[in-house]
Amino acid sequence: MACVRALRRTDADIKLIDRRNFHLFQPLLYQVASGGLSPANIAAPLRSIFKRQKNAQVLLGSVETFDTVNQKVILEDQTQVSYDYLLVASGSTHHYFGRDAEWEHLAPGLKTIEDATEIRRRILSAFEKAERTNDPVARAAFLTFVIVGGGPTGVEMAGAICELSRQTMKNEFRDIDPSSARVVLIENSKLVLDRYHESLSIAAAKDLKALGAELWNETRLTEIHSDHVIVSQSGTPKRLDACTVIWAAGVKASVLGKKIAEAINTPECIDRAGRILVDTQCSIASHPRIFVAGDLAAFPTADGKSLPGVAPVAMQQGAYVGNLIANEIRGQRPVKPFRYWDKGNMATIGRSSAVVESGRMRLTGKIAWLAWLFIHILYLARFENRVLVMFQWFWNYVTRNRTARLITGEPNDELHTK
């Protein structure tokens, strides 16, 4: 999107190919998963975004393969789309450390709208099943929620489930006490948010515990089953009965990385995480007209690592590539390499609590939460969504209610058969 926008004043003929017809504002996906917002509140139709940019055409399609010799993208029905310049920015997906087949269905991750509504369905159904059963062991397992991974998504998800069970659901059940639900955050390393400054990690841990979450640090997940997980703490296995497991741990690059490498016949252009190694102009060294941006790109940094897979990197790279192509169309290729401007990191823990770092500034508590609120409203793609989200947040803040708590989908669920 940033690249398409940067090309708006050129006479380029732009095709934006996406599998989905909308842009998703992923940072708020956890709020859909916890029943606070509706999917449409954090999504905007691509067509409506680029309605006025006449040189851009949106095509709903899935890329099957690339033909870099003839400069064509091949879609799922063999439709061919020609290009002079190609930007691939298909992001990343969940990664279960080699156990995808076993764990994917037991522990859904949070990347798509469908993931979010599925997680919402599982969380809400668990409380419903706990209310229905008389077996105390089963009830405890229904009321135990395991979140794997203590990064921003894991922390936000854990905070949201704590609030849901302790505040939103208060007085709503008759046979169970929803506030007795256990929310267990499992993290390999010593601290949650381990890429943040240590003081913020400690503040986040404190706030999470205050909300009722249990932090199991230095804990490795070894097994997931439908009603329990097994973890390893300093080598000692430990069993935890839990029916709901949410994956917020690893991600891997989109499969299109491998397909580009195959197309250009250069297997060494992908790194171990499946990302494409790009040069300082975000292009593939051997193919200067093929660009890769965002989570799919491994962009080298000075310290020999690569830029993190976060939205600001993707947006800045997209705009950079757009400007570079615009310049080339005008007859000049800029030599200035891409520079990432790191505006900082933030994560919210719950009502009135967040952590923010930007440069040397570090905020925690209410002021960080207000900063988080402001930034997220600002980045939401469309004005209407901003008002809708603000109103719902205000309402949820005052009433502690969450109105988007719908159990939908999954027609093969035993309860919804006709």
| Residue span 6-25 as binding mask against a copy of itself, x where in contact by CB under 8 A, dash where not | -------------xxxx---
In the beta sheet, which residues pair with residue 75?
A: 63
**Which pair of structure tokens corresponds to residue 205?**
């841990």
**Binding span for a copy of itself by CB under 8 A among 110-118, 190-198, 276-284, 317-325:** 110-118
The Cα 169–Cα 328 span in angstroms is 57
Residue 271 touches a copy of itself, criterion: CB under 8 A: no
Nearer of residues 8 and 129 to a copy of itself, judged by Cβ: 129
β-bridge pairing 361-364 and 353-358:
antiparallel
User: Could you tell me which of 86, 51, 50 has the C-alpha nearest to residue 66?
Assistant: 86
Contacting a copy of itself within 53-72 (CB under 8 A) = 54, 57-62
Contacting a copy of itself within 157-186 (CB under 8 A) = 169, 171-175
| Residue span 111-150 as binding mask against a copy of itself, x where in contact by CB under 8 A, dash where not | --xx--x------xx--xx-xx------------------
β-bridge pairing 56-60 and 14-18:
parallel
Burial of 217 (0-12, 13-18, 19+ CB in 10 A): middle
The Cα 276–Cα 295 span in angstroms is 9
- Find the catalytic residue in 76, 128, 131, 156: 156
Q: Does 131 qualify as catalytic in the annotation?
A: no
The Cα 203–Cα 191 span in angstroms is 11
**Which pair of structure tokens corresponds to residue 77?**
């029905």
CB of 88 to a copy of itself, least distance (A): 16
CB of 134 to a copy of itself, least distance (A): 9
Q: Are 368 and 353 in contact (CB under 8 A)?
A: yes
Q: Are 258 and 270 in contact (CB under 8 A)?
A: yes
Contacting a copy of itself within 331-390 (CB under 8 A) = 382, 384-385, 387-388
Binding residues for a copy of itself, rule: CB under 8 A, are 19-22, 38-41, 43-45, 47-48, 51-52, 54, 57-62, 76-77, 79, 93, 113-114, 117, 124-125, 128-129, 131-132, 169, 171-175, 255, 382, 384-385, 387-388, 391-392, 395, 399, 401, 403-409, 411, 414-418
